[in-house]
């Protein structure tokens, strides 16, 4: 779409916008997931992992009176669940709320090392990271910007990368 700008002599001219390699218009993305989808997808993931890890920590591991061990297991499970499933498949929350995490430039799956960094940032920044979704057109969170990832609809992913 051309941009119309005024000139110094009062007339208007049409300027072709410059496209960058990272411009979402070049990626041909039809729909970005809403804040609701991303927040509730994350909430579903956290609840699912919490109950699974808590069950493991309380019922299957040798009994320990230290709550820090149980908390550590839950935190580790959440970190690994999000990282591994985001890099190789999709999480339960992503499946239910219909979005996937991909590399911003290529729409390929994000590598495991970026997925690990993304999970750490997501856990550390919490809701602050998700608030950024409101303020940008592509609905990217802070952890998405930091790792070069984007959340997109599964319909925007070709069959071989889904």
Q: How does pLDDT run across 114-133, given as a tens digit for each residue?
A: 999 999 998 899 888 878 88
Mean pLDDT along residues 53-64: 73
| Structure-block tokens of residue 111 | 């590598």
Dist. CA 58–CA 26, nearest whole Å: 50
Whether the per-residue pLDDT at 149 is higher than 90: the answer is yes
Half-sphere exposure of residue 117: CA atoms within 13 angstroms, side-chain side: 12
- Report yes or no: 42 and 129 within 8 Å, Cβ to Cβ: no
The pTM (predicted TM-score) of the whole model is: 0.74
pLDDT band at 65 (very low <50, low <70, confident <90, very high): low
pLDDT score at 48:
94
Dist. CA 96–CA 25, nearest whole Å: 26
Dist. CA 98–CA 36, nearest whole Å: 11
For the chain, percent helix, then strand, then coil, each to nearest 5? 55, 10, 35
């Amino acid at each position: 779409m051309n941009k119309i700008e005024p000139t110094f002599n009062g007339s208007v001219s049409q300027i072709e916008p410059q496209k960058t390699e990272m411009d979402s218009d070049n990626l041909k993305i039809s729909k970005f997931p809403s804040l609701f989808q991303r927040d509730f997808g994350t909430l579903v993931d956290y609840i699912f992992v919490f109950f699974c890890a808590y069950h493991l920590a309380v019922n299957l591991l040798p009994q320990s009176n230290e709550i820090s061990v149980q908390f550590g297991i839950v935190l580790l499970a959440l970190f690994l669940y999000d990282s591994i499933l985001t890099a190789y498949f999709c999480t339960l929350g992503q499946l239910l709320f219909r979005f996937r995490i991909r590399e911003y430039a290529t729409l390929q799956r994000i590598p495991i090392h970026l997925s690990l960094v993304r999970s750490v940032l997501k856990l550390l920044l919490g809701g602050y990271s998700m608030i950024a979704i409101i303020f940008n057109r592509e609905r990217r969170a802070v952890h998405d910007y930091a790792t070069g990832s984007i959340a997109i609809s599964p319909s925007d992913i070709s069959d071989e990368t889904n």
